[in-house]
């Protein structure tokens, strides 16, 4: 982080020649990717919750059978248990298709743009915002982990 001993976070400083608009664009691209990461997490939640529900159907069918409702137990097992959530797809296939079709392409493009425009440096927009907002000399407002405390 601070390789020069001056307390500044050099890993997050804007490279020479990168404009304000480029930094803002990289920030917007990063925010969009972070939002996609959250959406992807929800997709994994959907996948796991649906799988959990499917396994709970075994218990429901067993209890229906024990309660003397054989026909409903059979219907749960044959109509819902193991059913596709959309035509031809279980949730793992939706996750795989999302990753292959959208997520991986988005992540690769963001990396390429950041690599070309900012020497691969991440979160330049946020780092500059941090520098604007932190209080110099305050122990909880240092530039980065392990940075020395600065005079007020």
**What pLDDT score was predicted for residue 151?**
72
pTM for the predicted model, two decimal places: 0.81
Question: How would residue 19 be classed by pLDDT, with cut points 50, 70 and 90?
Answer: very high
**What pLDDT score was predicted for residue 118?**
93
Q: What percent of the chain has pLDDT over 70?
A: 93
Q: To 5 degrees, how large is the angle CA 60–CA 81–CA 39?
A: 105
The domains of the chain are located at: 14-132
Rounded Cα–Cα distance for residues 88 and 52 (Å): 19
């Amino acid at each position: 982080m601070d390789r020069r001993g001056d307390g500044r976070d050099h890993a997050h400083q804007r490279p020479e020649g990168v404009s304000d608009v480029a930094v803002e664009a990289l920030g917007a691209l990063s925010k969009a990717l972070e939002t996609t990461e959250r959406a992807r997490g929800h997709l994994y939640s959907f996948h796991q919750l649906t799988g959990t529900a499917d396994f709970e159907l075994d218990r429901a069918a067993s209890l229906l059978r024990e309660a003397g409702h054989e026909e409903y137990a059979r219907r749960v097992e044959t109509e819902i248990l193991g059913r596709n959530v959309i035509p031809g797809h279980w949730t793992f296939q939706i996750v795989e298709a999302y990753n292959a079709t959208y997520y991986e392409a988005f992540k690769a493009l963001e990396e390429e743009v950041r690599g070309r425009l900012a020497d691969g440096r991440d979160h330049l927009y946020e780092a500059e915002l941090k520098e604007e907002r932190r209080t110099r000399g305050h122990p909880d407002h240092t530039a980065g982990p392990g940075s020395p405390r600065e005079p007020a």
